[in-house]
Chains A and B, each alone.
Chain A
Amino acid sequence: MIKLKQLFAGGLVLTFLSSVAQAEYGLNLPLGVTETSKQVYDLHMLILWVCVVIGVIVFGAMIYSMIYHRKSRGAVASQFHESMTAEIIWTVIPFVILIVMAVPATKVLIEMHDTSEADMKIKVTGYQWKWRYEYIGEGVDFFSTLDAASNEARKLGSDIDPSTVENYLLNVDNPLVIPAGKKVGFLLTASDVIHSWWVPDFGWKKDAIPGFVNEAWVKVDEPGVYRGQCAELCGRDHGFMPIVVEVKSQADYETWLAEQKTGVAVAQVDVLKELDSAELNSKGKDIYNANCVACHQQNGQGVPGVFPAITGSTIATGDINQHIDMIMNGKAGTAMAAFKEQLNDVELAAVVTYQRNSLGNNVGDVVQPTAIAALR
């Protein structure tokens, strides 16, 4: 009775493990799209099979013993209880197996560490809770946040079915774009707490640590879209700051890059304009919903004891420079981030105006982008 159950359980495990070999089933590590990811996949399969073989032998011996050495079968206990030979054999053989595994592992690790001779470099900065990508030397610099559809659906009690949202929790507004066939170097850091940048198809992840810079690299030959997530607990929305990388052909990449640069020029012109109250409040509402709602909530009430309310807050209804300072520079030691790098002058002016005139507040003043620029 007992042995049948155990044989059944053993059979189930083996079935699982054999189907594990099919990478596409969603049971196994992905093969990925880089040389590195394929090497890592091979290492993974090597150790997995070594473990399966050892498991079959070891569990097989146990199952045999449980069937044939049971008292109810009439087995009488031997009394042998030591063997130097056995101890030596089952120390040496595993040791040799380990060496067999350590050799290819060492080789792959050395190659992964070689970040030299990159064709371009991108600085990746982790924020609570989004990523920032700066193309070194190109003047292109933007934030990449969870896309709006996912952001709506994921709210507590949203009643939106996640399966109706495309690439739910794995989609962003501004993906990272890189050229195929080039070695792209990454400089990873963070602005507040430790994050980790991970795209499974690339074959690695690396921590983004505030005040320090980590290096990594990738070379993807096949154009496509690859998705990943933050992989180090970084607070409330750790599960909601995904990564999307679009790998384009060299030509398409250059087109995209040119477009980005034009976009930057346009934005710089914008900040010199004067905006009226309606424009500021309307834009401010959009900025608020994209950046502030996570903590301060839709109605500005915050979460008591955790995130302060904006409604009736002494800062949002008090001295306007203090209010601007709080948003631009954040509050050290708390989750209130500094938004001066994340939002431009127009956006900052708008959101400050909105907070002072909505969410239950009614201060009546406005802030112009030029005022923000003066404070930088």
Chain B
Amino acid sequence: MATVTDLHDDHHDHGPAKGLMRWVTTTNHKDIGTLYLIFALVMFMVGGAMAMVIRLELFQPGLQFVDPGFFNQMTTVHALVMIFGGVMPAFVGLANWMLPIMIGGPDMALPRMNNWSFWILPFAFAMLLGTFFMDGGAPAGGWTLYPPLVLQGGDGFSFMIFAIHMMGISSVMGAINVIVTILNMRAPGMTLMKMPLFVWTWFITAYLLIAVMPVLAGAVTMLLTDRFYDTTFFSAAGGGDPVLFQHIFWFFGHPEVYILILPAFGVISAIIPTFARKPLFGYSSMVYATSSIAFLSFIVWAHHMFTVGLPLQAELFFMYATMLIAVPTGVKVFNWISTMWKGSLTFETPMLFAIGFVIMFTIGGFSGLMLAIAPADFQYHDTYFVVAHFHYVLVTGAVYSIMASVYYWIPKWTGNMYSEKLGQWHFWLSTISVNILFFPQHFLGLAGMPRRIPDYSVQFAEFNMWSSIGGFAFGLSQVFFCYIVYKTIKGGEKATDQVWEGAEGLEWTLSSPPPYHSFSKAPEIK
């Protein structure tokens, strides 16, 4: 199925167009990858600023800084921006940069659609962030958009729905591009089971995206028609059910969190073998484990709904299925550790972030397993215990893998080495502060503090203060990261083609930086 021929007559070896229009009209996967990554970095800062407002208000008991309604806008938009504007575009940026190179292809299969997929995003987010200036303010019903509450929103509601539709279209087009590229554009000899794991994890993620983003679109369309066109999908008075929304939303929502983590698994699976100077342990197991996780992710959604009043049999089924996902996830962790075992390890910054990922994502996995136990979940649900869980898997999980990938591949992308000393500082400052930020939140949840509240009872004061201090420090550390990235792009010690002693894969056969068009002629696959 995979064939690619000479797509270029080399006589017009042009470089990229000049100026701003280069970036507006580019169909080059490297340029588009760069656009996505920079967009994601900016969105992380925007979402991070909102988190700073949240932690500022929660620093002490009592209401000091913001109206409770505005606080709800902060929590809602913080999540939407981080998930849809931060993590997802960052991973798409990595896919764009690396997938064509890793499979020995000339570019993504649909380069023009690739350009549209990206440029939808700044418009979608301008709309979403614009809602802060509208009557009624930004959406404030939580990123989970539960009706009837979400229907009480002001004008911002409609724009949020529109923005979500646009983000969904961007994601689906991107996912289609990924699948078509991987299926149809591999160099001869690059069989599926020879592809780097990062390609595999993105391949599977793309299928998840195509399946569930349309379901989210369906759910928000139903919200729109319930509000403006007199449907009653979610209103008991009309024969509908608010819980119906939750079923549809979480049918999207659960696979969505695997969409947020599978590419991370791929990145870690690239980095650890490099710095252990040892091949990835259990390649085929890793492929099967990832596929199992993806399949299982479709049948566990109601574990987000244990307290709505589901029938007993449903709660039992979803509890068992959710606990089951721990098995393939554990398999992956064991395989990474076996990769390290009896390797020859060095601890450059990418490896630090990768190891930090394995340890702290596993901690997030443990709290996830606890949440899976339905009767116990009745105590944890909608408390800070859940907040701690998902921030461990998303921040010290997904975001750490993204930072790891930037340190790992930026010498290749730019031709410049980042400063190892600064990278180490960034890692340690981040890791210490992120644990001070999120670990106490486990205790807050267990002690009884609910989520999404701007003020709390006095017994929660001490841990909230610690959490906020960690938050401010973590935020500052990420500003530092922006500086490191900027400095590296501007210049630094020149990188070799190989960059890392133990690195394997097609990207390291190209120059640093690679030519504007790599693999116009298919490489030889051994």
Interfacial residues, chain A to chain B (CB-CB below 8 A) = 2, 5, 9, 16, 20, 26-30, 39-40, 43-44, 47-48, 51, 54-55, 58-59, 61-62, 65-66, 69-72, 75-83, 86-87, 90-91, 94-95, 98, 101-102, 105-106, 108-110, 112-113, 153-158, 160-163, 167-170, 192-194, 196, 198, 200, 203-207, 209-212, 214-215, 228-240, 303, 305-306, 333-335
**B453 / chain A contacts, CB cutoff of 8 Å:** 229, 238-239
Interfacial residues, chain B to chain A (CB-CB below 8 A) = 61-69, 72, 134-137, 140-142, 146, 148-149, 151-152, 154, 227, 235-237, 241-243, 276-285, 307-309, 312, 315-316, 319-320, 323-324, 326-327, 330-331, 333-334, 337-347, 355, 358-359, 362-363, 366, 369-370, 373-376, 378-379, 381-383, 428, 435, 439, 443, 446-448, 450-459, 461, 502
5 residue pairs of the A-B complex, CB under 8 angstroms, read A28-B447, A105-B373, A153-B62, A215-B309, A236-B72
Check A163 against B458 for contact (C-beta < 8 Å).
yes
- B238 to nearest A CB, angstroms? 9
Check A55 against B366 for contact (C-beta < 8 Å).
yes
**A110 / chain B contacts, CB cutoff of 8 Å:** 312
Assembled-state Cα–Cα distance A48/B369 (Å)? 9
Q: Which residue of A lies closest to B378 (CB)?
A: A204
Assembled-state Cα–Cα distance A205/B435 (Å)? 28
Check B62 against A203 for contact (C-beta < 8 Å).
no
Assembled-state Cα–Cα distance A211/B232 (Å)? 12
Assembled-state Cα–Cα distance A234/B142 (Å)? 10
Assembled-state Cα–Cα distance A72/B347 (Å)? 10
- A89 to nearest B CB, angstroms? 9
Check A102 against B323 for contact (C-beta < 8 Å).
yes
- A251 to nearest B CB, angstroms? 30
Q: Which of A90, A102, A207 contacts B309 (CB 8 A)?
A: A207
Q: Which of A47, A198, A235 contacts B149 (CB 8 A)?
A: A235
Q: Which of B149, B319, B359, B446 contacts A102 (CB 8 A)?
A: B319
**B320 / chain A contacts, CB cutoff of 8 Å:** 102
**B308 / chain A contacts, CB cutoff of 8 Å:** 207, 209, 214
Assembled-state Cα–Cα distance A161/B458 (Å)? 10
Known: A62-B359, A66-B355. A196 touches B307 (CB 8 A): yes
Check B382 against A212 for contact (C-beta < 8 Å).
no
Check A305 against B342 for contact (C-beta < 8 Å).
no
**B282 / chain A contacts, CB cutoff of 8 Å:** 81-83, 86-87
- B271 to nearest A CB, angstroms? 15
Known: A71-B277, A77-B278, A333-B152. A27 touches B443 (CB 8 A): yes
Q: Tell me if A's interface is mostly helix, strand, loop or mixed.
A: mixed
- A42 to nearest B CB, angstroms? 10
Check B346 against A65 for contact (C-beta < 8 Å).
no
- A64 to nearest B CB, angstroms? 9
Q: Which of B67, B324, B428 contacts A98 (CB 8 A)?
A: B324
**B337 / chain A contacts, CB cutoff of 8 Å:** 58, 61-62, 65
- B305 to nearest A CB, angstroms? 9
Check B370 against A198 for contact (C-beta < 8 Å).
no
Assembled-state Cα–Cα distance A333/B370 (Å)? 38
Check B148 against A44 for contact (C-beta < 8 Å).
no
Centre residue among A40, A54, A71, A235 by max chain B CB count within 10 A: A71
Q: Which of A66, A162, A211 contacts B61 (CB 8 A)?
A: A162
Check A75 against B342 for contact (C-beta < 8 Å).
yes
Check B362 against A306 for contact (C-beta < 8 Å).
no
Q: Which of A80, A82, A160, A239 contacts B450 (CB 8 A)?
A: A239
Q: How many A-B residue pairs have CB under 8 A?
A: 303
Check A239 against B455 for contact (C-beta < 8 Å).
yes
Q: Which of A55, A167, A335 contacts B363 (CB 8 A)?
A: A55
Check B346 against A109 for contact (C-beta < 8 Å).
no
Check A95 against B345 for contact (C-beta < 8 Å).
no
Check B235 against A211 for contact (C-beta < 8 Å).
yes
- A230 to nearest B CB, angstroms? 7
Assembled-state Cα–Cα distance A324/B482 (Å)? 57
Assembled-state Cα–Cα distance A55/B236 (Å)? 46
**B448 / chain A contacts, CB cutoff of 8 Å:** 30, 200, 228-229
Check B446 against A71 for contact (C-beta < 8 Å).
no
Check A306 against B381 for contact (C-beta < 8 Å).
no
Q: A87-B285, A235-B72 are in contact. List 10 more A-B contacts (CB 8 A).
A: A77-B277, A77-B502, A87-B282, A98-B323, A102-B319, A106-B316, A109-B319, A209-B309, A231-B383, A236-B69
Assembled-state Cα–Cα distance A102/B318 (Å)? 12
**A215 / chain B contacts, CB cutoff of 8 Å:** 309
Known: A83-B282, A168-B458. A210 touches B63 (CB 8 A): no
**B358 / chain A contacts, CB cutoff of 8 Å:** 62
Check B309 against A194 for contact (C-beta < 8 Å).
no
Q: Which of A101, A163, A229 contacts B373 (CB 8 A)?
A: A101
Check B279 against A79 for contact (C-beta < 8 Å).
yes
Q: Which of B309, B331, B340 contacts A65 (CB 8 A)?
A: B340
**B237 / chain A contacts, CB cutoff of 8 Å:** 211
Assembled-state Cα–Cα distance A83/B242 (Å)? 49
Known: A98-B324, A193-B149, A306-B137. A205 touches B378 (CB 8 A): yes
**A234 / chain B contacts, CB cutoff of 8 Å:** 149
- A9 to nearest B CB, angstroms? 8
Known: A51-B369, A105-B375, A206-B307. A169 touches B456 (CB 8 A): yes
Known: A160-B62, A162-B62. A169 touches B455 (CB 8 A): yes
**A205 / chain B contacts, CB cutoff of 8 Å:** 307, 378-379, 381-382
- A310 to nearest B CB, angstroms? 18
9 cross-chain pairs, A with B, having the tightest CB-CB distances, nearest first: A211-B236, A239-B453, A305-B135, A51-B366, A214-B309, A77-B344, A81-B279, A193-B149, A77-B277
Check B148 against A48 for contact (C-beta < 8 Å).
no
Known: A158-B63, A211-B235, A236-B69. A168 touches B457 (CB 8 A): yes
Check B281 against A75 for contact (C-beta < 8 Å).
no
- A315 to nearest B CB, angstroms? 18
Check B309 against A161 for contact (C-beta < 8 Å).
no
Q: Which residue of A lies closest to B65 (CB)?
A: A156
**A39 / chain B contacts, CB cutoff of 8 Å:** 375
**B330 / chain A contacts, CB cutoff of 8 Å:** 90, 94
Check A162 against B458 for contact (C-beta < 8 Å).
yes
Check B331 against A78 for contact (C-beta < 8 Å).
no
Check B363 against A306 for contact (C-beta < 8 Å).
no
Q: Which residue of B lies closest to A93 (CB)?
A: B330
Assembled-state Cα–Cα distance A212/B148 (Å)? 13
Known: A71-B277, A169-B457. A43 touches B340 (CB 8 A): no
Check A27 against B447 for contact (C-beta < 8 Å).
yes
**A236 / chain B contacts, CB cutoff of 8 Å:** 67-69, 72, 140
Q: Which of B227, B340, B459 contacts A333 (CB 8 A)?
A: B227
Assembled-state Cα–Cα distance A236/B381 (Å)? 20
Q: Which of A48, A76, A80, A109 contacts B315 (CB 8 A)?
A: A109
**B149 / chain A contacts, CB cutoff of 8 Å:** 193-194, 233-235
